[in-house]
Amino acid sequence: MGMSFSYGPPKDKQEMISLMRTAVERGITFFDTAEVYGPFTNEELVGDALAPLRDRVVIATKFGFDTSVDPRAMKGAGPVLNSRPEHIREVAEASLKRLRTDVIDLFYQHRVDPAVPIEEVAGAVKELIHEGKVKHFGLSEAGIETIRRANAVQPVACLQNEYSLWFRRPEEGLLQTLEELGIGLVPYSPLGKGYLTGKMDEKTTFDSTDFRSTLPRFTSEALKANQVLVDLLGRIAAEKDATPAQIALAWLLAQKPWIVPIPGTTKLERLDENIGAVAVELSADDLREIDSAAAQITVQGNRYPEKLEKLTGR
């Protein structure tokens, strides 16, 4: 996402293609995009980068927004949803072309659309799976009841929700449900939209094209108040000869074997840093220490403005 959308101006296309191909050479096999990232430009970028390496990678993309509406509306009244079955099919066909592939490995509903029963959504994806255009069905920011209902129509391969040391709501019943149903979790923003890397402080400012400028958790007051969490990661990192970002990712990887975090980056050195998290071993004692210390910290600031928070947990 960050290569094309949300985190400041789009990055240089050839540099991003090179970075993605380098990631594949270094063992990264899972790439996440969505039609709304841009819109459309990120899928095209992923398609151009990965078409020559298609047999070596898994590509996930998403449907569920009405991209005919001016994307600036997403900053006003909020995004317009559309998960009608005919629209899902239109999105799939268009995404296949942009991604330069004949099958979408993982097709997520980006946000639950209350106007369309989830059974109809699951049924539409089920048809695409039977036709060989999609391999697996996913949901993003769905609530437990919705997950159960969808899974009864078409098995849900995984759920993409925010989860990290500074957003732990999935632990309140969601992880248990996923384990029961055999559904994987793909945590987005595993580095707290960059905050858990330790590269920000209360003086950090964001460009108007950076969506963090609209998030309550990224006000100077919240950045200052939440520094205690970064300090905790820094202490553990020093003991492990690692970076705070690597500890944040290693913590997620240590939670469950079916948790697959998707850190984004636009820089080669950060790619290597993220990959290095796999080698960081956190013992049961380390995890207890982190949990005990984190339990004393109350993270300040909502993660989204109200209009976007309303789209989650449905």
The answer to whether 8 touches 207, Cβ cutoff 8 Å, is yes
The answer to whether 251 touches 165, Cβ cutoff 8 Å, is yes
Query: Omega into 261 within 30° of 0, i.e. cis?
Result: no
The answer to whether 247 touches 280, Cβ cutoff 8 Å, is yes
Tokens of 45: 């970028």
Residues in the chain: 314
Could you give the residue numbers annotated as active site? 37
Collapsed DSSP state (helix, strand, coil) of residue 181? helix
Tell me how far apart the alpha carbons of residues 299 and 227 are, in angstroms, rounded to a whole number: 9
Strands of the sheet with 156-160, listed across from one edge: 30-32, 58-63, 104-109, 134-140, 156-160, 184-185
Beta bridge partners of 140: 160
